[in-house]
Amino acid sequence: MTAQDYLDFAERFVGAIQSGDVATVRACYAPDAKLWHNSDGIEQTVDQNIKVLEWFIRTLPDRNYRVVRREALSDGFLQQHVLEATLPDGTKWAMDACCVIKMKDGLITRLDEYIDSAQSGALRSFGR
């Protein structure tokens, strides 16, 4: 894949998350992809991650990813963004995040997500 291919893929992938298109998100992952989060140190499978995504879509229906930086890497891309949404109690919320995505054969094989745990803590009272 070229650098532009990675950036185009990133646009489709993040767009699918933002729009709640779970089938497209799932199709972006290799079947054995691993997803890791700095906030808990746990490596998830695609199925585990999709369950979290479905909860996320229900809980934050107006989510918006404000991309601060997106760069192609030799084997994927990185994205720094601010996730903005309204919490179920009506509170405006934002969380800084950075993802490093590794790809092979046009699919995500690994996603490492770094989030601000202080900001993500606001989600705990809503079931996560």
pLDDT tens digits along 12-46: 999 999 999 999 999 999 999 999 999 888 999 99
* pLDDT score, position 39: 83
User: Which of 102, 114, 112, 96 minimizes the C-alpha distance to 28?
Assistant: 102
Q: For the chain, how long is the longest CA-to-CA vector?
A: 43
Write down the residue that tokens 């107006």 correspond to.
62
Other Cβ atoms closer than 10 A to 91: 9
Q: pLDDT, tens digit, for every residue of 93-111? A: 898 999 999 999 999 999 9
Domain map (residue ranges) of the chain: 3-117
Cite the DSSP H helix spans in 1-128.
Answer: 3-19, 22-27, 46-59, 117-120
Tell me the pTM: 0.88
Class of domain 3-117: alpha beta
Q: What is the mean pLDDT of the chain?
A: 90
- Given a contact cutoff of 8 angstroms between Cβ atoms, the answer to whether 63 and 83 are in contact is yes
* pLDDT score, position 126: 60
